[in-house]
Structure 1
């Protein structure tokens, strides 16, 4: 009667990010809609001009960018005494800019911080190029399967059995009754710091490495 082994193999690879997409917002508010709207549109044109100077899809430093439509809305706030105040009008627009040169990204953001009053950096999304991500995914899947085979053979060796042979391999969780794959690496977040220098505040970007991971479940038998 063959002995069956069900094991899980995993592997992770870490790579410095190759792209950083800045998510920014330009926003203003005031007692009237038109001035707030006009200010956002004016600053948006200036931001777009600064992006176009850097945009080159092949060589960067900006490889891609997009803008949303300008949004407007109004709300009537309340003061601390419970009295409703006059309407406040808002206008805002979101912009995404993908950089391959992180030094130029920091310089660009720093320049906007000092020149655009309504500028807000919502975050930077760090990523790999599509080709590199696919390559790493293939590598970690192979290593995860090899890890599963190694573990199964160690169990068989501990029992004095022979060489194991695979009978099933699946994404993690799919060999169990529920058939629900699990896994996926953690998201990459932005770490930022502003340090004082002789010329004022300097933006410093410190992206963490991108983790690409894979987990597989495998079933082996040994006589």
Structure 2
């Protein structure tokens, strides 16, 4: 009996369905109340926009931070006293379904000096991600079976039979007592769990699985 351990992998692709963007309101002033007032007004406008996009169905969800303020001393010039600067900031994060509405909103908020638009994180809906992950896991098993078959054929062994399955990064199953480990034909590295790579356009859902097979040596008839 020979053991064959392989890693099966698969990648499923789907077009981005969600876009998450964070817009931060930030303002600096020589007085704390000035900085707080400017940011509070800008922040409230963003929250109103976020609520409106969610109500209209263009956005799936949103959340906002509280306004906070920091202070530092700014160097003015040689021999001059340092100047106190107060910076207030707060952010609103919105997860959009409608990319056209998102583009329009970014164009509008970007005109305000108090607003800083962060990068966009592209993702799939939860339903699509589950479906693609399930399909990727199924294909990863099929890939492992094919790999094991190739190794068994090349080594002159019989058809391999699944003995254990695990995701990379989990605790390996203990080998059955009394069974000697005769050989390990292959082991390939892979990511610990299915993961989604965020990028514009098509997104990837990956799966990897480690499978241990056993195969008998073929008997030659003289």
User: Cα gap change, 1:81/1:156 in structure 2, threshold over 3 Å: closer, same or farther?
Assistant: farther
The question of whether the paired residues in 2 share the 8 Å contact of 1:26 and 1:40 is answered with: yes
SS at match of 1:34: helix
Which segments of structure 1 move beyond 6 Å, counting only runs of 4 or more?
none
CA contact (8 A) 1:10 1:214 kept: yes
> Of 170, 189, 210, which residue of structure 1 is paired with 2:203?
210
Deviation of 1:160 (Å): 2.6
The farther-off stretch of 59-68 and 4-13 is: 59-68
1:182 alignment counterpart: 192
Corresponding position of 2:17: 18
Alignment check: 8 A CA contact 1:76 1:84 kept? no
Other structure's SS at 1:76 match: strand
1:133 maps to 2:132: no
Structure 1 gap ranges (5+): 190-206
* Superposed displacement of residue 213, structure 1: 0.5
Q: 1:90 to 1:148 in 2, by over 3 A?
A: same
Residue pair 1:24, 1:123 contacting (<8 A) in 2 also: no
> In the alignment, which residue of structure 1 is the partner of 2:67?
70
CA gap 1:131/1:74 in 2 versus in 1, 3 angstroms:
same
Paired residue secondary structure (2:110): helix
> C-alpha deviations, 1:154-179, integer Å up to 9, x for none?
111112322110101111244499xx
1:70-119 alpha-carbon deviations (Å, 9 max, x no partner): 001111123575966211001110100111011110110101112x2110
- TM-score scaled by structure 2? 0.82
Q: Equivalent residue for 2:213?
A: 220
After superposition, where does 1:68-147 map in structure 2 within 5 Å? 68-79=65-76, 81=78, 85-114=82-111, 116-147=112-143
Q: Quick one: higher RCO (CA 8 Å, sep 6+), 1 or 2?
A: 2
CA distance in 1, matches of 2:130, 2:159: 32
* Shift of residue 184, structure 1, vs aligned partner: 4.6
1:94-147 Cα offsets, whole Å, 9 max, x none, are: 100111011110110101112x21100122222111111111111111111110
Q: Which string of whole-angstrom CA distances, capped at 9 and with x for unpartnered residues, describes residues 179-211 of structure 1?
A: xx725536414xxxxxxxxxxxxxxxxx14221
